[in-house]
Structure 1
Amino acid sequence: MTPEKTRKTVPPSGSQDLVPAPDLPYRPQDPQSYHPGIGLIGCGGITKDHLTAYKAAGYRVVAFCDVNLENAERRRAEFYPDAAVFQNAADLLARDDVEVVDIATHPAVRPPLIEAALLAGKHVLSQKPFVLDLDVGERLVALSESCDRKLAVNQNGRWAPHFSYAREAVRRGLLGDVNGVHMSIEWDHRWTEGTPFAEIKHLILYDYAIHWFDMIHCLLRNQTPLRVFASTTRTKTQTMMPPLGAQVAFEFEHAQASLSFDAATIYGRQDRTYIAGDQGSVYSIGPNEKEQQLTLYTADGVSQPDLVGSWFPDGFHGSMGELLCAIEENRRPSHSAADNLFSLSLCFAAIHSTETHQTVVPGAIRRLPIDKK
């Protein structure tokens, strides 16, 4: 959302004055001198956003691969006409000019591709969800370490401008100790009816909410999650199979968190986030996840940063940029696969809770079968 489109609306805050917003590094970062060749495996619909971000950032995509060769050829023609195209991933991985691989296939076929890429000496950015089995994820993390390769997960929501700014505010201690995180999303997800997405039993909590589970983990990463309770509900008029209502409650050592999803909202759509700390709070609201007005409350006053950009495509820029920076600086990326396993443990626990109607300890549920029924 550009500054000129931003309407300043400050929720009730007592008598605090409006003050300049802290300058926080919420925008995607790029490496200083590392410009590797990137290979994309899996060229489905979402990769248009990947490539839009990569092209704008000046990243070099040198090869495309898809089992449906037409998909790879289409993406090449749209974005990088000089790139090579392949139908077999092994051919792409054999190229010396490919140093980093973006694996954007379906989850079930991703682990063998990640393993092959690591063994071929490539750094890997995996599309989310990283794995459907935490033990498999831990094995791939161990493999990446033994191969001395970076393995990151494309949790692109971390670089949505409003969430990235809030995350930086928490990381820098502007809110003090976070004791509450509450997010609610009201939108219409019925566009998925008649698509393969509608065959996923827990479409909302598994495919969509994976970003919000990751946000909860990011904001409360210094606290231990103790229990998760979740439930889903079908609206009275819905005709598609997956429940369109879902809610999750999290109990942490010294905090609480909640997620609420209403995916059959036609009018008055909203996306809201409230982060409460003992030294400050953040409130962000908008009609969707791409258009947000964020307000920061601290002892210094109330501030509303003019956030530049949008989740799509900036989130994809941020995710790949962080991996490239981590490679250049020889450090673990902030969205590493090892870190993402904690986010997945929250997701797995929530989905298991909806099935059993019981509270679940995160990490206790190791494998997530995604039923199609």
Structure 2
Amino acid sequence: MYADKGTAGRLDVDYKPKLPRDLTKGIGIVGAGEIVVHAHLPAYRMAGFHVIGIYDKDHAKAEAAVSGYPGMLVFASLEALLEHPDVQIVDIAVPAQQQPAIAKQAARQGKHLLCQKPLAETYEQAKELVEVFASHGTKAAVNQQMRWSPGIQASRSIMERGWLGEPLQAAIQVNVHTPWENWPWLTHISTLEVMYHSIHYLDSIRYVLGLQPEYVYADGARFPGQPYRGETRTLIHLKFPGEVRALIHDNHNNRMPQEDWYATFRFEGTQGIVKGTNGALYNYPTGKEDTISLYSERLEKGCLYTPKLEGRWFPHAFMGTMGELMRAIEENREPVNNAADNLITLQTVFAAYRSMESNRPVYLEEIDRLPVT
């Protein structure tokens, strides 16, 4: 039996996004879709970041996005955004098919970049982008913002402090109903769930464990009669060096009431566990705050700690991705979520799809051997 420490057993798990000293760096956003309106802009307002303006090929969408932000510009073209003297950082929030051309153009203009995930539709394109960023001295981060969701960032802090001992196992399980039609372009692609959803879990697991997978064994399936082309149910097994393993189990077709939905994570070590809920997927699309519980033999034995977390994946974690890029510029270092690091996450994504096709484990090195075209 665990003795429950509850919220009285507060632990400093260091999970809140860290912000730069200088909040005045100018940000230009490319794209005015749902994620910008409901996550990027609210998060940047909370953080006090300086957003100069937005460009979207649909001018009316850009106008609507800035309507609650007095003084924010709507650019007539991408070139106008890139040529604005105060735009130092370009935040790209468009589908992967459109991102490489925009990112290359911004890098050539000397801008730093926060790129959307996935970085590109193919590994070859992503690897080429990383080379372009390096050649222009651009600091480029990828918006894998789940790393900064309260539960995942808290788990990372707990793992780094050694409270779980040596990493041993991880699991993320999701059983919800996702209305993919809210993003119409997603309904027509063949690489759906892993490329645009479980990519977060693949990235977060390796972030928390601090390890890189050796191989991926994955299976993807559809729901009978679904109106979407790609997979909406996935099982992904990850083998890490030694005895470390991870599992992702995702179903986006839960027709039951939301009381039956769940989104959980669990990280185990040789001396403890941290587990919790991803609140963003409960009561969707409203969401609620993440929760975590911690048991550690390195702390008070027999006690289950349940520290209260503040904030949510959407929009609070978006302060983390942009904040980390801004701090990296300030400190003249690479951001933790840099584009080169993201290539490893993309290797797991493309290895998962190759595994689905060939029904076998696929080593990440197979993906990295692909030539740049």
Q: Is the 8 A contact 2:254 2:261 kept in 1?
A: yes
**Quick one: distance in 2 between partners of 1:46 and 1:364?**
33
Q: Which runs of 5+ in 2 are unaligned?
A: 282-286
Q: Is the 8 A contact 1:249 1:258 kept in 2?
A: yes
Q: Is the 8 A contact 1:132 1:367 kept in 2?
A: no
SS in 1 for 2:87: coil
Q: Could you tell me which of 206, 210, 224 is aligned with 2:199?
A: 210
CA shift in 2, pair 1:207/1:286, >3 Å: closer
Map of 2:223 onto structure 1: 235
CA shift in 2, pair 1:121/1:103, >3 Å: same
Q: Could you tell me which of 314, 322, 332 is aligned with 2:334?
A: 332
Code of the residue aligned with 2:41 in structure 1: it is L
**Quick one: distance in 2 between partners of 1:235 and 1:286?**
23
Matched, 1:246 2:234: yes
CA shift in 2, pair 1:23/1:194, >3 Å: closer
Q: Which moved more, 1:281-290 or 1:51-60?
A: 281-290
Q: Could you tell me which of 161, 174, 181 is aligned with 1:185?
A: 174
Give the deviation of 1:121 after TM superposition: 1.2
Q: Is the 8 A contact 1:42 1:103 kept in 2?
A: yes
**Quick one: distance in 2 between partners of 1:70 and 1:367?**
43
RMSD, aligned CA: 2.1
Map of 1:126 onto structure 2: 115
CA shift in 2, pair 1:38/1:15, >3 Å: closer
Q: Is the 8 A contact 2:214 2:240 kept in 1?
A: yes
**Quick one: distance in 2 between partners of 1:193 and 1:74?**
18
Identity %: 32
Map of 1:284 onto structure 2: 276
Q: Is the 8 A contact 1:128 1:154 kept in 2?
A: yes
Give the deviation of 1:51 after TM superposition: 0.5
Matched, 1:157 2:146: yes
**Quick one: distance in 2 between partners of 1:283 and 1:158?**
15
Give the deviation of 1:135 after TM superposition: 3.4
SS in 2 for 1:163: helix
| TM-score (normalised: structure 1) | 0.88
CA shift in 2, pair 1:287/1:46, >3 Å: closer
1:350-365 aligned within 5 A: 350-365=352-367
Code of the residue aligned with 1:183 in structure 2: it is I
CA shift in 2, pair 1:191/1:342, >3 Å: closer
Give the deviation of 1:15 after TM superposition: 4.1
CA shift in 2, pair 1:136/1:45, >3 Å: same
Task: Give the number of equivalent residue pairs.
Answer: 353
Matched, 1:306 2:308: yes
Q: Which runs of 5+ in 1 are unaligned?
A: 1-13, 369-373
The ranges of structure 1 where at least 4 consecutive aligned residues each deviate by more than 6 angstroms after the TM superposition are none
Q: Which moved more, 1:127-136 or 1:155-164?
A: 127-136
Map of 1:52 onto structure 2: 42
Q: Is the 8 A contact 1:250 1:256 kept in 2?
A: yes
Give the deviation of 1:149 after TM superposition: 2.4
Give the deviation of 1:112 after TM superposition: 1.8
| TM-score (normalised: structure 2) | 0.88
